[in-house]
Amino acid sequence: MGKAVGIDLGTTYSAIAILGESGKAEILANRDGERTTPSVVYFQDDGSVLVGTMAKRSAAVAPLDVVDFVKRQMGNPDWRFDAANGRQLSPEEVSALILKRLKEDAELYLGEGAVTDAVITVPAYFDDAKRRATKDAGRIAGLNVLRVLNEPTAAALAYGEEARKDGTILVFDLGGGTFDVTVMTITNDVYDVKATDGLHELGGKDWDDRLMTWLNQQFQNEGGPDLTETFESEADLREKAEAAKRTLSQAPSTKVILSSGGVTKSIPVSREQFESITVDLLNQARDLTISLVEETGLGWAGIDHVLLVGGSIKMPMVARMLEEISGRPPLRAGNPDELVALGAGIQAAIEAPSAGTPRPRAIIKDVTSQGLGVAVLADDGSGRLVNSIIIPRNTKIPAKGSDAFTTSVEGQTEVHVQVTQGDDEDFAFVKEIGDQLLTIPPYPKGAPIRVEFAYDIDQMVSIAVYDLTTDSLLGSFEVDNTANLSDEDIRTATDNNNDTEVG
């Protein structure tokens, strides 16, 4: 039996960790000695793939064969990557190749066959489909996924186990593709999440995109061609923009050398300039943070620390903004890029203790990040659908909730259950995550039906519907997610994953 690992499967960078024998979580460096691995996959002509830094470097020379930011596609049934060898890969399959590389690298360190059990982290706001997709990616890579754990919770766990200090913390996690903010208390090893929110399309990539647009404009003003015209020049621009962004975290200004169509220019860019073209992005994170603190009713006075997590918090504008709104300098614990993986490693040791390693005492009490409800007809007779929330956002998980409804016409023989995920009362602003048509006897109008919803510990949804006239179960189902792979798809994907050589 191997040791259970924790995996931070990030939008831009991934990392893997275990709880060491000393009782401290440790990052397992990859085969190249790096502590994080770029979540980038390069599909080569011979069917083999490269994952990580080499794949990332290949983006400018072979942009059509390289996939990055695949995490943004998790749970999206319409996205497929067309590999040069004719294979079409789902987001789960691409993610599974990243996981395979992490697993193999960890085994290089721990011994062959050593890695089977894993805790994989997900952004707190990930919905049912995205969580399932993440678990499926793990399965495809041959991992037994013990649990999916919310990233901010994992980061807090890593911080708390190290700092051994009780208090209320706000975890501000700004990564490459996503933003999560969570408020929790740590008391006697109990990590109690109070509230969580996030923006799934806000991260370092958006800062890169802004800088790319700006640099491209400057380049054209100086007589250069549009760099987005070819995939190669666009990928080159992306690489240089990200590098410049990182430099600007250290230095007040830098220069970017761009070259295309026989034109070469050196474009100066200052931190001030960079901040002014991205301040609205930062403001989105700020506004959400402020409203979450309001929602908890604690106020800033009730929050002891602001914990910075994720690579993008290295931009000085982030800490400055947080100090402005919270009135105190935020806290950096260890390396902000590694905290999530370390926390996952700790949780893995809690889920699957191994001989010789002390089992951490931490207990996590997390909450749902999305409301769960059902579509019902509006009272006003307009025929409009409204969202009736059954399990509100920020309810402790595992969670159960139920509500009773009545049939709306005489002799109705079917009930249509439309399950929603989201917090809005307007049906148009929530996601329908599944529906089921259930048969009932032809009761008079007003016959009572009860719908019972449950969120499990991974925040995945199951539903049961009861006929209250006879007190019998009409049907129960997991969300029949058209967004997710079937068991058959997963088997095929697993075989393909096994057959693919990952370098």
Of 269, 207, 258, which Cα lies nearest the Cα of 236? 258
The nearer residue to Mg ion, 131 or 265, going by C-beta atoms, is 131
Out of 151, 242, 423, 458, the active site residue is 151
Tell whether residue 203 is a contact of ligand ADP (CB under 6 A).
yes
Query: Among 371, 463, 486, which Cα is nearest to 416's?
Result: 463
Q: How far apart are alpha carbons 176 and 155 in whole angstroms?
A: 16
The answer to whether residues 38 and 30 touch, using CB atoms and an 8 Å cutoff, is no
173 assigned to active site: yes
Is position 6 an interface residue for Mg ion (rule: CB under 5 A)? no
Site membership for ligand ADP, residue 10 (CB under 6 A): yes
Q: Pick from ligand ADP, Mg ion, none: which does 401 bind, CB < 5 to 8 A by kind?
A: none
Choose between 152 and 224: whose C-beta lies nearer to Mg ion. Answer: 152
Distance in angstroms (rounded) separating the CA atoms of residues 160 and 440:
52
Decide: is 198 part of the binding site for Mg ion (CB under 5 A): no
Range in contact with ligand ADP (rule: CB under 6 A) among 283-291, 306-314, 404-412, 425-433: 306-314
Identify the active-site residue in 3, 56, 71, 314: 71
Euclidean distance between CA atoms 103 and 32, whole angstroms: 14
Dihedral sign, Cα of residue 321, residue 323, residue 326, residue 332: positive
**Does 204 contact Mg ion by CB under 5 A?**
no
* Residue number with CB closer to ligand ADP (245 or 393): 245
Of the candidates 92, 93, 127, 173, the residue annotated as catalytic is 173
| Count of residues that bind ligand ADP according to CB under 6 A | 21
For position 345 contacting ligand ADP by CB under 6 A, the verdict is no
Residue 71 is among the residues annotated as catalytic for this protein: yes
Q: Is 52 in the site for Mg ion (CB under 5 A)?
A: no
Stretch that binds ligand ADP, among 8-16, 363-371, 375-383, 470-478 (CB under 6 A): 8-16
Cβ at position 340, least distance to ligand ADP in Å: 7
Tokens 């996690």 belong to 173
Which helix (H) or strand (E) element contains residue 268?
strand 263-270
Cβ atoms of residues 130 and 40 within 8 Å: no
Our CB check for ligand ADP shows the closer of 312 and 459 to be 312
175 touches Mg ion by CB under 5 A:
yes
How many Å apart are CA 154 and CA 140, to the nearest integer? 23
Chain-centre distance for alpha carbon 448: 39
Task: Give the x/- contact pattern for Mg ion in 125-164, rule: CB under 5 A.
Answer: ----------------------------------------
Q: What is the crossing angle of helices 487-499 and 128-140, to 10°?
A: 40
* Minimum CB–partner distance for residue 442 and ligand ADP (Å): 53
CA 263-267-272 angle, 5° bins: 160
* Separation of alpha carbons 183 and 202, rounded Å: 19
Q: Find out whether 435 and 417 touch, Cβ atoms under 8 Å.
A: yes
10-29 residues in contact with Mg ion (CB under 5 A) are: 10
Task: Give the shortest CB-6-to-ligand ADP separation in angstroms.
Answer: 14
Strand 190-199 and strand 363-365: the pairing is: parallel
Which residues of the shown chain bind ligand ADP in the complex (CB under 6 A)? 10-13, 175-178, 203-205, 242, 245-246, 249, 310-312, 314-315, 337
